[in-house]
Amino acid sequence: MLDRIRASLPSLAPAEQRVARLVLVDPRAFATLPVSQLAERAHVSKPTVVRFCRSMGYDGLSDFKLKLAGSVSEGVPFIHRSVDPDDRTGDVLVKVIDNTVAAFLKYRNDASTFAIEKASEALAATHGTRGRIEFYGVGNSGVVALDAQHKFFRLGVNTISYSDGHMQVMSATLLGPGDCVVVISNSGRTRDLMDACDIARRNGATTIVITATGSPLAAAGQIHLSADHPEGYDRYSPMVSRLLHLMIIDVLATTVALRIGGGRLQPLLREMKNNLRTKRYA
């Protein structure tokens, strides 16, 4: 995060540059001080402080400070180290775990809370009107789509997942206003997923895409939840990408559950848990 601010300095307005330098000099203090003190120390107005945060791609001062606090406190570097053919088992263990943790922390600092809020609102609204929520993915992303269906149907959502391209196109054809589709893709370039997303959007359904920034699928959806990571998908089966997508689904499921409200949801989950007890050994 600090490297990105440093690299953006020349492109910022002079007043915003003063705010940026204040961040770089003492990021820990910046994350804790109120906006009035930040503006006074940088010799700018309070709106300029907020404007700087938005120039850096964050939703505002609160979002920026939250991500900044996390960025300066964690001890895991944001470095992706590829697994090599001659790595020992211990090397593979460390690389896979470190890569995953680093990707999670980077997502926490870079994620747009505005996009997540929009997606959560759309999903909760679809649930409220008893519309359909469908999850599409192929390959590894198909597994994530199935996991998403499992998480959302427990919330009482009318949902299903498809990993077959023909089924995705046919089901998208049946969607309409009030329905919602979540399309998951590592590359964002899978033709079947693009076709299904386009069809669902033409028919009036809300389209949410979880994929890489700058990909064709990212531009095809109405709401884009970026899932960016340094892992290539042409050497080994993607590991970090799948876990990153699963985490994003967890965030969505949790935010939607909160919007539905515990008064309606908790009794349903308790009854489900009680009914499952007979399926387990004592």
Cα 42 to Cα 24, 45, 158, 180, distances in angstroms: 12, 9, 51, 45
Q: Which of 122, 159, 168 is nearest to 141 (CA)?
A: 168
Could you give the residue ranges of the DSSP H alpha helices within the chain? 2-8, 14-25, 27-30, 35-42, 46-55, 61-73, 89-110, 113-128, 140-153, 165-174, 191-202, 216-220, 240-260, 262-276
46 and 34 in contact (C-beta within 8 Å)?
no
Q: Residue 254 has what pLDDT?
A: 94
Sequence-distant (≥ 6) Cβ neighbours of residue 54 within 8 angstroms: 60
The C-alpha atoms of residue 241 and residue 267 are separated, in whole angstroms, by 34
- pTM for the full model? 0.74
pLDDT digits (tens, 9 = 90+) for 177-218: 999 999 999 989 999 999 999 999 999 999 999 999 999 999
pLDDT beyond 70 at 79? no
Q: Residue 162 has what pLDDT?
A: 97
pLDDT digits (tens, 9 = 90+) for 148-158: 999 999 898 99
Phi and psi torsions of 13, nearest 5°: -65, 155
Under CATH, what is the fold of the domain 2-73? Answer: Arc Repressor Mutant, subunit A (1.10.10)
The C-alpha atoms of residue 147 and residue 125 are separated, in whole angstroms, by 21
**Domain chopping of the chain, boundaries:** 2-73, 76-110, 113-271
Question: CA 277 from chain center: how many Å?
Answer: 33
pLDDT digits (tens, 9 = 90+) for 85-139: 788 888 788 788 888 888 888 888 788 888 999 999 999 999 999 999 999 999 9
Q: Which residue has the higher pLDDT, 57 or 234?
A: 57
| CATH number assigned to the domain covering 113-271 | 3.40.50.10490
Question: Sorting pLDDT into bands at 50, 70 and 90, what band is 35?
Answer: very high
Question: Sorting pLDDT into bands at 50, 70 and 90, what band is 235?
Answer: low
Decide whether 2-73 matches 113-271 in CATH topology: no
List the beta bridge partners of residue 259: none
| Residue 188 DSSP one-character state | S
134 and 161 in contact (C-beta within 8 Å)?
yes
